[in-house]
């Protein structure tokens, strides 16, 4: 089973752990967060917020906050050094990267999980030069443009930094991210 289609393990033994000072309501809320890794992120998006690709594609709430500095993880599918464009995917969602502003050489480990930090742009703010480079890259790599509305109609990311995080347990990563968000929501 590929990493993209791997189901999230919600039978973790941590969901049954309780302390004597925790009320039953708090424990039920805690169990809900652990059992639901896609827990809704209710805080306003700030610089360097971690968002998963499926969260970006499933919500239009980020459109009014663009350009947005954020972090995400994704699997590198295509890299084209000639056109300085890359295509990444995670949880059956795809995103185009404009690698022309990367601080280092563009990532090159096709099929590896990467952590990207950069600027998310709305597709409407993408210049004609970048749009042309994306189309040429897709044509060169035989990627159909039709049937992929998430690629060009929503967002394009300009990563400034990236790192290969191959070997990271994505199920554990998503659970930890969900717990962190829940904790941050309780502080508000």
E-only strand ranges, 12-100? 49-50, 68-80, 85-90, 93-98
Per-residue model confidence (pLDDT) at position 146 = 65
Q: List pLDDT tens digits, range 91-103.
A: 888 899 999 888 7
Q: At what angle do helices 24-35 and 170-187 cross, to 10 degrees?
A: 140
Does residue 61 have a pLDDT over 50?
yes
Task: Return the half-sphere exposure (C-beta side, CA atoms, 13 A cut-off) of residue 99.
Answer: 23
- C-alpha–C-alpha distance, residues 35 and 99, integer Å: 36
Question: pLDDT: is 60 or 162 the higher one?
Answer: 162
Q: Any idea which of 20-29, 73-82, 179-188 has the lowest mean pLDDT?
A: 20-29
Report residue 58: phi and psi, to 5°: -85, -5
Q: List pLDDT tens digits, range 7-22.
A: 444 343 333 333 344 4
Domain 49-164, CATH among 2.70.70.10, 3.40.50.300, 2.40.50.140, 2.30.30.100? 2.40.50.140
DSSP 28: H
Average pLDDT score, the chain = 75
Angle at 171 between CA 91 and CA 53, to 5 degrees: 30
Question: pLDDT: is 62 or 153 the higher one?
Answer: 62
- The encoded tokens of residue 111 equal 């099929």
Compute and round to an integer the Cα radius of gyration of the chain: 18
Q: List pLDDT tens digits, range 119-138.
A: 988 877 788 898 899 889 99
What is the value of pTM for the model shown?
0.71
Q: For the chain, what are the domain ranges?
A: 49-164
Task: Return the half-sphere exposure (C-beta side, CA atoms, 13 A cut-off) of residue 187.
Answer: 7
Averaged pLDDT, 14-39: 42
């Amino acid at each position: 089973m590929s990493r993209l289609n791997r189901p999230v393990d919600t039978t973790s033994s941590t969901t049954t752990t309780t302390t004597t000072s925790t009320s039953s309501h708090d424990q039920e809320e805690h169990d809900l967060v652990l059992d639901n890794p896609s827990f809704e992120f209710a805080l306003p998006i700030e610089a360097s917020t971690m968002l998963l690709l499926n969260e970006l594609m499933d919500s239009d709430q980020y459109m009014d906050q663009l350009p947005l500095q954020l972090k995400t993880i994704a699997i590198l599918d295509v890299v084209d050094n000639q056109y300085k464009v890359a295509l990444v995917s995670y949880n059956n969602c795809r995103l185009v990267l404009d690698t022309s502003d990367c601080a280092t050489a563009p990532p090159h480990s096709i099929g590896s999980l990467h952590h990207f930090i950069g600027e998310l742009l709305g597709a409407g703010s993408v210049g004609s030069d970048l749009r042309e480079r994306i189309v040429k890259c897709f044509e060169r790599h035989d990627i159909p443009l039709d049937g992929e509305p998430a690629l060009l109609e929503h967002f394009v990311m300009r990563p400034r930094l990236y790192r290969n995080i191959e070997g990271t347990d994505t199920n554990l990563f998503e659970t930890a991210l969900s717990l962190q968000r829940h904790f941050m929501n309780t502080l508000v």
